[in-house]
Structure 1
């Protein structure tokens, strides 16, 4: 025998399977005809493939070490796949493809332990909870690690055994003969589904999955200033993976219930207050309950706010109270509390009240039928703007 396969791959005769695999991958990438630009690249690539074909196979390597011919009629390269020099008899194209993608020599058994999926749950908040933050219990239904087998999937006292079909490799190789030569295809073992092991006595609690579904309660900390559609990310609180693998993440999507008094606009809170016609004309001060009044854990002094109503206030006037809105989620400070005043005209008057209003109208010269007509050039929207900004 004239060929030295060990020298071709540049490894010692006592090299391990991993060392042979690593040397082959490195040289295959270096001398691949589509990569290398030297004239002898194809021939060198053929020699490398032949050496690896022998040395990565335990039986062929043993025959070669005893001086036999492991290739039978000889290995003549990969011409059948477009490379010059000989035919493709005995060439394992799968090994070449796997080498290029980091899986030389077969994929090997896959682990039963895998990361779990992320989970999404929804949590409803009141406006006060969203504005000022809260720690709230949340009931979630996810997969958790099985307490009976502790994630192994095997019944207590038993353990997985090596698959007799693939001998623990996780995949099997089939050889099909064609005019191109022997074409080998590798696929997951149907007996063990690619795990390399079989669980003869599955856990009765989880049926071999290593996880079960269960409801649990966790405390979710909601920061101040969140709004509908925001999500809270809880690391490793999602679904436990198969085989008792690490849990995925949990995302809590927030919704906010409508409030009967306050309306949120960004970081501002808006409230509408009705005041009597006389109060609007003479001016007054109103005391309003705030959103903080709904929270027992906040400063009692913040439960109300005083709003000064100037003399002659018109209906639709908005008064902004600085710093009494919603705390900003990103940043410092708070928005404003917008108080919109609606002036109420009395609809029921007794004779005495009616007489007083007549006297007031006469004193102000408002008992005529003349009115101020708005100019059309302002348009409807201009008229509304003036009405609500006076």
Structure 2
């Protein structure tokens, strides 16, 4: 493990904290942040927790011009007995390094990153909201900072983690959403950056989202970028279908992001001995299953929502209503189980939860 000392500089002024029942997503940020720098001479160095603040970059910094950046998203939860729990954080830092590799960004030390995250959360512990369904959202990200207008990997970077108290994704309970199947734009193709969590993937998705939103749909269902036939993701989430008792999710094919929630759903279904298959699935197969009455449920999976039931697809001028537009029994069970484990209310049979303990000795407060 990297044993670099993490310095902690505490903020001299504290922000006003919002009411837990008035939280939106990603609009309020805590008093502190984590930062670490990379140069070719020193590698990753100077890990530190500092007061939350703007960062100053040269206008020629490569992030502004070539988009060399990656990010992650996970949450911390406060249990009824005031323990702080993280859900599989090691998976997020493993995926961050996979994204780093695809974007030619130097690998970070995953153990050091997790240690730093625990210390940052402990430093801002009082920011973790306590209302039902709330949590502390965590955004680690890496940006390229070298001032250079040549197209090449940057020689310097910043690794930053910020925290944001967020409200429940479902303010009035878990409800199915309506999804438009996207046939014009594509999210990614095999060989591109679809398997990396990088900002460009999300920027390129905005146009399709804007168009579907004007039609009254919450998200788009992405099809493959070659034949526009096979299902890949829904919005910024992975997607699952329950067809005739079997759970099917698109196989990782080089353009689909491997979600931590996706992996957990598959492992949980196998633990329950419910048949689950990762394979290629076409929109036509889904339509035929709807036509013959075997399409029982569909849902998206991701950090923010955990489970997002799908009540309707719109494809080729046809509306496919699923389970009468109601939340399916399996969707609800998966949601209740995962959130129960995340919040320490249910048994953790697969050993997913990591508890944040008091700051370790690898820190210096100044």
TM tier, shorter chain? under 0.3
Q: What TM-score, normalized to structure 1? A: 0.19
Which structure ranks higher in relative contact order (CA pairs < 8 Å, sequence separation ≥ 6)?
2
Q: What TM-score, normalized to structure 2? A: 0.19
Which structure has the larger Rg? 1
